[in-house]
A and B are shown apart, each in its own frame.
Chain A
Amino acid sequence: MNRTVKIIIFILICLLAIATLSASVEDQSGFIPIPAITYSFNDGTALSTMTFTSSEARLFYTFIKADEDAQNKPLFLFFNGGPGSGTSCGLMGFYTGRKTFDNCITGGGDRYIDNPVSWTSLGNLLYIDARCAGFSYGLLPSGTSRNLAGLSSEFLGRNFNSYLDAAEFIRALLLFLAEHPQLQKNPVIIVGESYGGVRATLMLNMLLHYPQYANYRDIYQDPELVDLIQAHYNIVFPEYSGQEVPPAIITRQFGHQVLIQPAIDNYRRYYDGPMLEAPGSLVYQIARETKTTFTPCQNSNCDPMSHIYDFVEYVAKRDIYGCHKPTGWTDSFFDHAANLLLDSEQFQALTNTDPALIAELHPEARSRAYKYAYYAPDSPSGILPRHQDIYARLPHEQKVLLRPRKKNVPTDTTLAPLFDIPSVFGPLLPFDAYYSSLTSDGNIAYFYLNAPYARGYAAYSYHPLTGQKFLQNLIDVKTFITNAKYDLVVYTDALPPALGLHSNLVASSDHQKNLPINTARPGQIEIRYHSGVLSQSGQAIRTIRFPYYTQSSHPVSLTEPHEFYDDVVAWLEEK
């Protein structure tokens, strides 16, 4: 065999290898196994350490490849909020993928349409459902009984807290990247909605400052996660193999976040109520439009935001997620999408994957699966008696999420026969379900069945520590946040002054409503850090793009998909 023939054979082998690798970057849906994780919380001293081992879970994911040149395009990681809301019925369902459910759903005609602003033109898309939300489910540890007592022991902070949740999403992401080596070194852009702001903050903090999560410098300690991150960086940044990678280098991969109406910490509460109670606010506008009367809180026992929610939802009968729309308007889309995803055709249209081919969806693979303890997905909305006291003490976002309201699933009878997955796949064991747009049991566990938080540790999702981590990330991560006019649940006008309350880190936080110039939807937040803060030698200034969406409710990608898409494209192109 002469040299020329050998070279030709080598080139053919290389081409074949490349073709094989390329072929594997295809649209797909499935489950990412999350192992039992041993982690701990400590509250300033290692003596206070509380150690937990979570239960295994399977997180549902959908990958949609970029329209062109997928191997060289960034990966957009999407997730909704809750905590405990499904992503598949949220961001995956509406105006991000190649196909989308219609934002003018009327109950008839096509349930999905081609998305005119598909983000696949920008990159690859990865959607992940959180533990027990969407199609994801938990796995009972061996020896745990499948009864209410057994399931109750699963819906505790041990399995449902913000830090574990972020760590699970990182594990899922890194595992996905490891299984798709063609994408492993690509930039990852995190896109989170609502509570997804907390998840994005904690994920990025763990990814950028990973060593502190295994040396008692952070409240959350997860040495195995740190090893996984280091192993990933050994591949992505081989020049730092085996060494601690600086955040400025890590941002080559994890350097962007897009946050849709994000919850970050509870400092927003110091501003949103007073802003909305001020004369001339949006709430008074709603009162005028609906010919009702709004009276602000009259005594100190009255919580302004709860009071406003009650007025908007029950008196003005408007949607608190989008107060220019009727009550339940926003929920209707997610409920609708949740139902459509239980239809094989609709599922396949959105994911480009035949659900029958996903082994973990089938009952045979779900002998240990569970999704709920008290709140079955098809149970009537509302809080069970056992949780009424808990409900009264929930943070506002959670009250909103769990408060009783009528379902807005279209009653169109032509849709009913479509929901074939439960009937075709077969019945599931008790406490399991195919789909859940929100895990109410999990959500309650985040806030009231969370042992370190109950002891007063900073393990609370909306603790100011989360805001500090957001500001720490912001030094290195380019950030885009939506500002939707009609969203009262996360009233983002309150975000700039709330960030300014972190006076130990920032000197000022200014909402610059008319900047940048020459943009269709101006708005930005300028954060000035104190000199020397966060390892910066001088006074660092960071700017968050903060466009104002005048027609939007909470899910901006649903309400102004074109505008949102255009702004993200322009922002990504900024130097």
Chain B
Amino acid sequence: MSRTILMLFIVLRVFQISFLCADDTKSQTQGWSLELSGGLQFFTNNDLCLATEAENSYLDLYYRNNPYYQTLDNPGFATFSYQFSGQARIKYRLGRHFSIGASLNYLSGNSSNNGLFSFQWNQNWRILTDSLDYQALDTKLNMVFPNLGLFYRLPLGAKTDMELGLCAGPVFAEARLKRHIIDSIQVREVSPVNEYIMYRDERALTMEGSGTGLGVGANLKLEFKIGQSMGLFFETGYTFYHLPSLSGRSTDSAGGQTRSWEGEWFMVGEQVAKNWGTADFFYPSNDPSLQLRRVGEFELNIHAFLALQLGIYLNL
């Protein structure tokens, strides 16, 4: 990664020298500016959201598609699709068109689910009600992305400019998955009537992981000058973040017992066949007891689309 940064620096340096020399109006166009912005990023990732998808597959195979069960409550899960981002960037204008800059981006995403799923199996002589009361099915992601960028400015009017930019840098991420379920089976015997709880367990799994990687992005900005040395801008863009691994601590409470462990995240792969269908489960874990079901590395690959970012810039 350090080699990449070094290469980027050299490229920027070459651009800086070439354009400084070429521009005869540098005294007017050179200078520093500061940009502050914030907004939403929509993103997809390959591995992190699979935790929620696997949970949906589990409910599909074992309950929703199970011909024995009738679905009573099925609120569904929200997927993890956008995050908040904030950015501070300092830029140096190399000339009329080109700038270089250093940015610090902060991105935070969180998908939070809870709800009661219940399913009923009428066995004629008794009715089983399976309840999976999700207290939490949460995915949380925080990332810091310090980066260097090269920007090309194109004046559109007296007070309006458009700017294209490329940036790259290291990314530091923290992720957290939480699955907290109160799982129970209530029985109602029909004749004679008798009701009891056959099973009840409160299970809470929390997985934490952190890691470093690389991000590269491109952005398009529309600037509106509102004074001699300041203006507003709207920005959109695309950034790809790649973190080859995460590792951290996990705790699992079930059956009244708690265990904890630390380790690198990996992908678990399982296939389950029932008479009414099959399902493949892929989800991240770092539970050492699931190592035999490891089917690959956990990679946090995020394709982030900057949908709407509003900012202000100051020419210093």
Contact = CB atoms under 8 A, between A and B. Distances in A.
A223 B289 contact: yes
Nearest to A37: B255
B270 A44 contact: yes
Interface stretch (A27-35, A113-121, A214-222): A214-222
Contacts of A156: 198-199
Contacts of A51: 201, 203, 254-255, 257
Given A216-B290, A389-B126, A454-B185, A48 B68 contact: no
Given A385-B192, A449-B198, A451-B185, A49 B254 contact: yes
B62 interface: yes
Contacts of A39: 255
A45 interface: yes
A50 interface: yes
Nearest to A448: B126
Contacts, number: 94
A49 B257 CA distance: 14
Interface in B156-208: 183, 185, 189-192, 194, 196, 198-199, 201, 203
B257 A215 contact: no
Contact of A43 (B130, B194, B272, B287): B272
A38 B292 contact: no
B13 interface: no
Nearest to A43: B272
Contacts of B274: 456
Given A53-B256, A454-B198, A389 B290 contact: no
Nearest to B272: A44
A interface secondary structure, majority: mixed
B62 A52 contact: no
A291 interface: no
Contact of B290 (A46, A52, A449, A454): A46
A217 B290 CA distance: 9
B198 A45 contact: no
A40 B255 contact: yes
A385 B190 CA distance: 12
A351 B192 CA distance: 44
Given A47-B54, A215-B292, A216-B293, A389 B201 contact: no
B201 A47 contact: no
B199 A451 contact: yes
B194 A386 contact: yes
Given A43-B272, A45-B270, A45-B272, A389 B189 contact: yes
A214 B271 CA distance: 19
Interface residues of A, number: 36
Contact of B125 (A49, A158, A393, A451): A393
Nearest to A223: B289
A456 B68 contact: yes
Contacts of A40: 254-255
B185 A215 contact: no
Contacts of A3: none
B192 A217 contact: no
Contacts of A45: 54, 58, 270, 272, 279, 281
Given A40-B255, A44-B270, A217-B292, A50 B130 contact: no
A572 B279 CA distance: 47
A514 interface: no
Nearest to A452: B199
Interface in B253-301: 254-257, 268, 270-274, 279, 281, 283, 285, 287, 289-293
A160 to B, nearest CB: 12
A142 B168 CA distance: 61
A536 interface: no
Nearest to B59: A47
A569 B64 CA distance: 56
Contact of B255 (A46, A47, A53, A455): A53
Interface string B46-85: 0000000011001000100010100000000000000000
B128 interface: yes
Contacts of A43: 62, 272
Contacts of B68: 456
A152 interface: yes
Given A216-B289, A386-B194, A449-B198, A50 B256 contact: no
A385 B125 CA distance: 13
Nearest to B125: A389
12 contacts: A38-B256, A45-B281, A50-B183, A52-B201, A53-B256, A53-B257, A158-B199, A215-B290, A216-B293, A392-B125, A449-B198, A451-B198
Given A40-B255, A51-B201, A454-B128, 14 more contacts: A38-B256, A40-B254, A46-B285, A46-B287, A48-B58, A49-B203, A53-B256, A214-B289, A386-B194, A389-B125, A389-B126, A393-B125, A451-B198, A455-B62
What are the 5 closest A-B residue pairs judged by CB atoms, nearest first? A51-B255, A44-B272, A451-B199, A51-B254, A389-B125
Interface of A: 38-40, 43-53, 152-153, 156-158, 214-217, 221, 223, 385-386, 389-390, 392-393, 449, 451, 454-456
